[in-house]
């Protein structure tokens, strides 16, 4: 795809025109299949911007409280969480210059090799960008209409089971939870200065996940990052999807 070239070019042009001071995008990591979010402050670094199917990280949370005018590239999932952060006054829109980029989905990585699309990308239903200043290849957003059903397939499957079966399902997962807090760290809506789970409740496990999901009710944009980063593979995003499903009804 030629988005990467267009992104690098546009970054240079905007910087030269004095419109932006820095760029938030992905740069190549130690391995080609692990690019990382990064701030690019000097124009000669813009050549290092990468954009490919391994760029799994959602960039929107990094702009919280940004003070320099920053160019940020947003795919539909990131764009929705970015819009939510603007709505919650966590980022000043005027400090950002948003380029909407087309996305064909990101992939799981296994031993350095690309595998299937991430679950959140397979079930993605987003094609629009709530806030943006320019676009690059946004017509390249193939979303099958079946993705709508796929989005809630796992939720409805669990719903159709017995309550005790669900309990066993979640017990099996949550007994593995080590409270590494990766899900909380990556989540754009978890921007509390002090998490109530650290200050008010010496209680972990399902209590933490239940409260977290409920605190995100109405705010979660279903970006799927929480499950992606869980080292134990706990599908925490299903809790958020269940709440979205219930409130949609």
Partner 1 sequence: MSVKIVAFCCNWCSYAGADLAGTSRLNYPAQVKIIRVPCSCRVDVQFILRAFVRGADGVIVCGCHLGDCHYSTGNYHAEGRLTQLFSLLDFMGFERERVHLEWISAAEGAKFAATMDAFVTQVSALGKNERYRNMYTKAGAQNE
Partner 2 sequence: MRIGVFVCHCGSNIKATIDAEYIAAQVQQDAKVVHAAEYPYLCAEGGQQKIINAVREYQLTGVVICACSPRMHENTFRKTAAKAGLNPYQIEIANIREQCSWVHKNKDAATGKALKLAKAAIARVKLALPLFAGESAVTKRALVIGGGIAGIQTALDIAEAGFAVDLVESTPSIGGKMAQLDKTFPTLDCAACILTPKMVDAAAHEKITLHTYSEVEEVEGFVGNFTATIRKKARSVDMKKCTGCGACWEKCPSKRIPSEFDCGLANRTAIYTPFAQAVPNVPVIDRATCIKFKNGRCGLCADVCQPAAIDFTQEDAVFTQEYGVIIAATGYQVFSLDAYGEYAYHDSKNVITSLELERLMNAAGPTGGKLQRPSDGKAPKKITFIQCVGSRDITRGKPYCSKICCMYTAKHAIAIKEKYPEAEIEIFYIDVRTPGKGFDEFYRRAVEVYGVRYIKGQVGKIAEMNGILHMQAVDLLENKRFDTTADMVVLAAAIEPSPGAKPLAQMLATPMDTLRFFSEAHPKLRPVESATAGIFLSGVCHGPKDIPETVAQASAAACKAIGVLAKDKLITNPCVAKVNDKKCTGCGRCIDVCPYKAISLESNAAEANPALCQGCGGCASLCPSNAMDLNGFTHKQVLAEVDALCR
Residues in contact with partner 1 by the rule CB under 8 A: 155, 158-159, 163-171, 174-175, 177-179, 196, 200-207, 210-211, 213-214, 217, 239, 242-243, 246-247
Which of 27, 33, 226 has the alpha carbon at shortest distance from 120?
Answer: 226
Q: How far apart are CA 203 and CA 234, in angstroms?
A: 18
Which of 218, 3, 32, 183 has the alpha carbon at shortest distance from 104?
Answer: 3
Smallest gap, in angstroms, from Cβ of residue 210 to partner 1?
Answer: 6
| CA dihedral of residues 196, 202, 206, 207 (deg, nearest 10) | -50
66 contact, one of partner 1, partner 2, none, CB 5-8 Å limit per kind:
none
90 contact, one of partner 1, partner 2, none, CB 5-8 Å limit per kind:
partner 2
Q: How far apart are CA 15 and CA 7, in angstroms?
A: 12
158 contact, one of partner 1, partner 2, none, CB 5-8 Å limit per kind:
partner 1
194 contact, one of partner 1, partner 2, none, CB 5-8 Å limit per kind:
partner 2
Instruction: Label residue 231 exposed, middle or buried (CB < 10 Å: 0-12, 13-18, 19+).
Output: exposed
The verdict on 162 binding partner 2 (CB under 8 A) reads no
Exactly one of 139, 199, 247, 248 binds partner 2 (CB under 8 A); which one? 199
The verdict on 192 binding partner 2 (CB under 8 A) reads yes
The verdict on 67 binding partner 2 (CB under 8 A) reads no
Tell me the CA end-to-end span of the chain in Å, nearest whole number.
Answer: 38
Nearer to partner 1, 135 or 159 (CB): 159
């Amino acid at each position: 795809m030629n988005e990467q070239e267009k992104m690098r070019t546009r970054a240079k042009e905007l910087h030269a025109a004095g419109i932006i001071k820095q760029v938030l995008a992905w740069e190549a990591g130690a391995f080609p299949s692990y690019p990382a979010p990064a701030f690019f402050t000097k124009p000669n670094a813009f050549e290092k911007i990468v954009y490919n199917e391994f760029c799994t990280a959602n960039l929107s949370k990094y702009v919280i409280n940004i003070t320099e005018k920053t160019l940020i590239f947003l795919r539909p999932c990131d764009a929705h969480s970015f819009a939510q952060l603007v709505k919650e006054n966590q980022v000043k829109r005027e400090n950002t210059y948003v380029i909407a980029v087309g996305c064909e989905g990101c992939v799981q990585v296994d031993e350095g090799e690309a595998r299937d699309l991430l679950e959140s990308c397979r079930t993605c239903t987003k094609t629009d960008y709530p806030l943006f200043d320019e676009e690059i290849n946004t017509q390249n957003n193939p979303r099958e209409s079946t993705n709508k059903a796929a989005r809630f397939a796992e939720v409805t499957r669990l719903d159709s089971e017995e309550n005790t079966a669900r309990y066993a399902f979640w017990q099996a997962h949550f007994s593995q939870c080590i409270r590494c807090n990766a899900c909380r760290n990556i989540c754009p809506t978890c921007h509390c200065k002090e998490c109530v789970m650290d200050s008010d409740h010496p209680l972990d496990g399902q209590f933490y996940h239940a409260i977290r999901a409920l605190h995100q009710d109405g705010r979660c944009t279903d970006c799927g990052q929480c499950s992606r980063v869980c080292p134990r593979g706990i599908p925490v995003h299903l809790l958020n999807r269940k709440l979205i499903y219930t409130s949609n009804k």
